[in-house]
Amino acid sequence: MSGEIWSLSESTSVASEVAAGAQALANSMQGFVAVIIDMKEIRDDVHGAKKRLLLKGGENASGPPEVVAESIFRAATKLMPSVILVGATRNGREVASRLAIKLRTGCLAEASRLSLEDGRLVADRSVYAGKVTARISSSLPCVSTVRAGSYSRTDDIPGETQEYEVGEIAAKTKTLSSSKKESGTVDLKSAKVIISAGRGVKKKEDLSMLEDLAKDMKGALGCSRPLSSDLGWLPEEHHIGLTGVNVKPDLYLALGISGQLQHIAGMKDSKVVAAVNTDKDAPIFQASDYGIVGDLYLLVPALRRALTARRGTR
């Protein structure tokens, strides 16, 4: 093994997070080096590690997972990295599993808080909808997917670039057609304040009131699963929870959200959680620092007036 820790994701923001995780691992072990993998061409906006490896000849990182995995496999069998970290996106999970099988190594899934201990990669993994944190590990070399949000992106710009020719790789599957998914412009992962809506919102038009509050607080609007997946009131990227986005803002304000385990798993790392619900026994209060038993339709206008008055006194 070379003592290198490789990182990869087809998503630019996730790639920088995973690279930061690789660099943190390298810093904890003398002699280890963090390396960002670029596929086909260098992405200048991906930062976080000290070195870059450009795999030439294959697809880019957002290409078919079977081709991406084969490209990394060809390079890894020659350069022999100790750890390969892949962002836990939909494509990334498939790339990591295919790669681990090809390399005949262990594969940790949805890992966070990674460390190298006694020749093993050790990580935390959230299980049972976030109620329990499991400690998992694998001997080196190994592959691991890294849960988005586990590390903060850094501005460290890679220095040395090494190129490796992987040769032509033919995909065994063929895409017959594709359609662009409609999406919004929200970036919940980087938001410092999140106003989150639940089934307590009576109709779609009322979401504008919460959007205005989010703007007043320079935050972003999120929601629980029913408002996106069931009712379709908001795009899927607004959905916070086990099957949605995991967030950790400075302030998470839950409005009309009951607080099922699946939702709590996506926001439990928030610094401060405040909740408003008409049901005093709503589970969301158990996960909150502050709670108000009341009607969001009364509280939101009052909060907006208070914010306006506060700005007027400055």
Averaged pLDDT, groups of 10, the chain, 314 residues long = 89 90 90 89 87 84 86 94 93 94 95 91 83 89 91 84 85 74 71 95 95 95 93 91 88 95 90 96 94 96 92 70
Per-residue pLDDT at 231: 92
The residues spanned by each domain of the chain are 4-165, 188-312
Per-residue pLDDT at 198: 95
Per-residue pLDDT at 69: 93
Per-residue pLDDT at 187: 83
The CATH code of the domain at 4-165 is: 3.40.50.620
Structural contact between residues 98 and 157, judged by C-beta atoms closer than 8 angstroms = no
Per-residue pLDDT at 214: 95
CATH topology of domain 188-312: Rossmann fold (3.40.50)
pTM above 0.75, yes or no: no
The two domains 4-165 and 188-312 share their CATH topology (first three levels equal): yes
